[in-house]
Amino acid sequence: MKYSTMPERREGPGDPMPKPGPTEEGGGPRRPETGSPEKDNLLKRMKKVDPKQAERYRQRTGE
């Protein structure tokens, strides 16, 4: 069976799933060096988190 395609959803013709670039080959990010800007940015973001938010997050069981 053949079905119509959705060209307006696809950024690159004929390549719906972007392939990982050379820097991502075989894995995710490099492990940042201690004190690197990227790790500093992530740590800054983590330090802004409200330490009590897990206590405040009172959810019901769903489904």
Which residues contact another protein (rule: CB under 8 A)?
1, 3-6, 8-11, 14-20, 24, 26-29, 31, 38-39, 41-43, 45-63
Q: Which of 55, 31, 28 is nearest to 42 (CA)?
A: 31
DSSP 40: H
Q: Tell me the closest approach of the beta carbon of residue 23 to another protein, in angstroms.
A: 9
Q: Tell me the closest approach of the beta carbon of residue 61 to another protein, in angstroms.
A: 4
Q: Tell me the closest approach of the beta carbon of residue 50 to another protein, in angstroms.
A: 6
Distance separating alpha carbons of residues 15 and 9, to the nearest angstrom? 11
